[in-house]
Amino acid sequence: MSYFPSLTKMEIYIIVVMFMVGVISADTNVVIQTKLGKLTGVKTESNLKFLGVPYAEPPTGNLRWADPVGRSPWSPAMYDATKLKPGCPQKGCFDMNPAFVCPTEVSEDCLYLNVFAPVTANSSSPNLPVLVYLHGGNFVHMSSNAVLFDGSVLSANGQMIVITLDYRLGALGFLVTATSNTAAGAKGNYGILDQRMALKWVKDNIRDFGGDPDKMTLSGQSAGAQSAVIHMMTPASSKYFRSVILESSPFSIPYKTRVEALYLGDLLADNLGCSRGDINCMATKSADDIATAQHTIRSDPTSIKLLDFFEPLGPFVDGSVVPYQPLEAMNHGIIADVPILIGTTSEETRIYIYEAWKKNLTVPLYTAALIGTFGPNHITQVLQMYPPVHVKDERDDLQHVSTDFIFSCAKRNFSRVAINQNKNAIFNYVFDHAFSFDGWGPNFTCCKNHVCHGSEIPYMFQPDFKNMTLNADEKVMADALGKYWSNFVKSGNPNKGGVTPPTLEWPQYNNSTNFSALRFATPRNNILVNVKQELCDFWDTVGYGA
């Protein structure tokens, strides 16, 4: 392996001395040369890991609420990429999410990515495919430095490079005070632009890690999947990847309009003690002050739409960075024509419903929630399709309605339009397995023995975490999932590309009357046909807000 290219004799001497005195050891460190300078990473038996690599200048000072700026070279210095960097500023992550997805520390200086490569990766033969993963978290929480998102196992087993990254969240990433795209003030969607900058960085630099820049797949879960769809809308982003993996994208949750985004900006200014629209005043506040304020205002709806409570902060449709709502973009035919692997869990909204209603939900409240979401014109039909069955506590029934409307059937709608417009393949899945381990912790007992939002992620990454020990059947399922994912990254087809392809052929979704999906479950996976056909046919007639 040529992982000491272009080192001077003095640098080699220094490294040798460091080996001798034990500062670094031959089996734990590796150095590579990049266009920006040299990086010191970590070498394990199975991986090369470069952690906390800067892909943009720190978004602080004059760069707060500004488009990201590419990172300046650090050469001739050696950059230490052996430790994870802090996540982006946020509040309340541990209250609203399991601990294993939350950052251990935060900083406004947070635009970093992590590179996980197989130990055999070689810069002189850059041919490995690349998976870029965007974390979820409602655009306000989570971080790539969380234990769950360690890409070591996925990279080593799949023989591909895995990239995880952080992007600006909440008000720091999505504040809008500008009344138009050309007016002064915060223009929003900075978190999306951060992601685009990271994609460009990977495209420009991945050869130095042994990766092929022409074999990039963009992946994301929840808000990360929503982000991936946004990148599919614009050539400025879609030129950086050749396929996408969309895990649990809530297609029916609308992005903000400018009016709604401006209203959120006004609420933030009020909470910070600034005049509305006064970006100069807000710029004087600390990142912690802003994160605290955004956590306070996120409980206020920006309209009468009940769905706003699911995702009160995030992207807004500016006609440029975010041209349309996702289903609207598909209907306009502007989504990139690339292979798509797309899926949901079987109980996506359970965690949100049980967090929103801490006690039993009565039938009148169930009906009111449906009216608040779908309006009075559709309430009779919705109640016919989803009658109140659990009359003592309607939270389960509301979970079924919201999962189908926001995730499962909206996903089907997206897939059907895509297959009718595009020539590339689509592969659908349903993840339907509850943790055998205590992965949710004491704050989320509603998800114990249930398949909540994000349940597939531990089986995808298989992190080395004491609370995530898989049983034998789960290990088989997780390894199969990893093979399907890595095959897709390599070839655009989950059935082709691996050394040992999974034994169950994943059917391509190929027409609008046979909605087939691979069901991930134990003791074995299986194929589903015409998934929720009657229910999704109903939602197609109601519409998804696009």
Cα→Cα distances 352→315, 407, 446, 487, Å: 20, 13, 10, 33
DSSP H/E element including 527: strand 526-528
3-state secondary structure labels for all residues of 93-106 = HHHHCCHHHCCCCE
Active-site option among 143, 152, 155, 222: 222
Closest to 115 (Cα-Cα) out of 123, 104, 107, 105: 123
Is residue 222 part of the annotated active site? The answer reads: yes
Name beta bridge partners: 31. Answer: 40
Which tokens hold the place of 239?
Answer: 């030129």
What whole-number distance in Å separates Cα of residue 262 and Cα of residue 276? 9
How far, in Å, are 225, 301, 450, 487, 542 from residue 350 at the CA level?
19, 20, 8, 31, 22
* Residue 155 near residue 248, CB atoms below 8 Å: no
Do residues 451 and 538 lie in contact, with contact meaning Cβ atoms separated by under 8 Å? no
SS3 letters across 128-194: EEEEEEECCCCCCCCCCCCHHHCCHHHHHHHCCEEEEECCCCHHHHHCECCCCCCCCCCECCHHHHH
**241, 343, 347, 519, 524 from 432: Cα distances, Å:** 29, 11, 8, 7, 11
Pairing of strands 29-34, 526-528: unpaired
Give the catalytic positions in this structure: 222
